[in-house]
Amino acid sequence: MNRRETMRNKDRIIDAAVFIVVLILFSALTLTLFVRQVYGDPGYYHSDMKAYILEMQGLDSGYSFPYPVFFKLAALIHLVTSPEMAVAIATMLLNSLSLVITKLAFNHLVSCDYGIGRKRDSGSTGTDGGREAGDLMWPVGIVVSLLSVSLFFISMLYPPDGIYLPGIKFKYLGVFSPNPLHNATYMAARPFAILAFLWYGKLLSVYEGGVVFRGGKRGEPLCRIEGKRRGALTDYALFSGFLLIATMTKPSFTLVLVSTAGLIMLYRLFRAGFRNFIPTVQLGLCFIPTFIDLLYQYRGVFMPANGEEGGVGFCFGEVWTHYCDNIPLAVCLAIGFPLLVFVLNFRECRKNSLFRFSWQLYLVGFAENFLLYEKGFRKIDFNFSWGYMYGIFFCHFSALLLLLRKTVGCRTGNPAKKDRILLILQWLAYLWHLACGLYYFYGIFRGGHYY
């Protein structure tokens, strides 16, 4: 084994070892919280865990949950443990899976797509020991691990107790968080939502190129054309599968993504003068399994029962204003960090497809949250806010990647003092969200109210 391969293996081992420790600590901490939620006094540990435990056992919970992935996993674990512990472990496993996927995605996006932390292929005589391009040095890998786990602790911004913000009634309700720690099904669906989000962002350029049906560039080898076709078909199938599993776990993210994807595809179809019609239809076919499942879920959730009013209603923030009298301020408190990144990096954000897609997702989530509600007794539950919270999460997800890229770029270049100050300002905004989130987690961990 040469020196280059030895250093690459060393980096991978150190990065993996540190992340495993981080993952174990994260899993143990969150499992403790979920155990307290399933066993603790509901007056202190507010959550829907009691209803989920009944649903997992096939008992009447008083609600309709026509999405089986989370409950089937808990039922499988229930074969060897109590119902309460099974639900807590299932929640922990799926929540920790989100962290694993985020770490892998960050590693890939940082080292390849964003060109961050790459090791120069300078041969055996270079200062970096001849590491190959695309490999992450272990210090960068550790930073990525810490940033990945931090993403699952950030919350909305809020002032210390006793300080009133105009129109803001609660910390969480009406403002909302990217990490609603009291809702297990949101956390259960998130790993599949992250995968669907990343794969759709990847497919945006694939379907525009139409590589599955077109013959490729003139003079391009046939083997490469066929490779592109197979790769594109695989990505289409993976996206379709991830979205379906996310829908079968909790459909809130799907409602927002399908709406956003439809608007993007229609816009690009008309802008291209229908020249990309076949690739658009091809991408649209990926949604068919999810549409079928949504129809089944709609029948179980939105259709009226026992003479009650059912369906989806239309309003202008009627439900939102029940919890908050200052929606503009609530929006700023929820997305302060990504909003600052967007304003300070507007030109680059326009070129960054993942960050742009996250904002498109957020805006559709905001519109659904503001304009739609469930009729009947579910109206006050404000269930369209779950899709809005996914938009908040993915705005933070992509903004963090963009900021990391800018930061490493400044370290390798010679930035002006103004650029360094702006970078510090953005990191301070992220740390503010993280500090609020850690204190928010601590309060819920100790039995405090989530709202």
Per-residue pLDDT of 35-57, as tens digits, reads 999 998 877 888 888 889 998 99
- Cα(5)–Cα(9) distance, rounded to whole angstroms? 6
Burial of 177 (0-12, 13-18, 19+ CB in 10 A): buried
Residue type for 66, please? P
67 neighbors 296 (Cβ within 8 angstroms): no
pLDDT, tens digit, for every residue of 324-383? Answer: 999 999 999 999 999 999 999 988 877 888 899 999 999 999 999 999 888 777 778 888
293 neighbors 247 (Cβ within 8 angstroms): yes
- Cα(253)–Cα(193) distance, rounded to whole angstroms? 7
- Predicted confidence (pLDDT) at residue 438 exceeds the cutoff of 80: yes
378 neighbors 345 (Cβ within 8 angstroms): no
Residue in this structure with the two tokens 């391969």, named with its chain if needed: 5
pLDDT at 306: 62
- Cα(255)–Cα(295) distance, rounded to whole angstroms? 12
Residue type for 55, please? E
- Predicted confidence (pLDDT) at residue 13 exceeds the cutoff of 80: yes
State the chain's mean pLDDT as an integer.
84
pLDDT at 119: 42
Nearest to 422 by CA among 344, 347, 350, 346: 344
pLDDT band at residue 213, thresholds of 50, 70 and 90? Answer: very low
pLDDT band at residue 96, thresholds of 50, 70 and 90? Answer: very high
Q: What is the largest CA-CA distance in the chain?
A: 79
- Predicted confidence (pLDDT) at residue 107 exceeds the cutoff of 50: yes
- Cα(24)–Cα(451) distance, rounded to whole angstroms? 28
435 neighbors 427 (Cβ within 8 angstroms): no
- Predicted confidence (pLDDT) at residue 223 exceeds the cutoff of 70: no
For 164, residues 6+ apart whose C-beta sits below 8 A from its C-beta are none
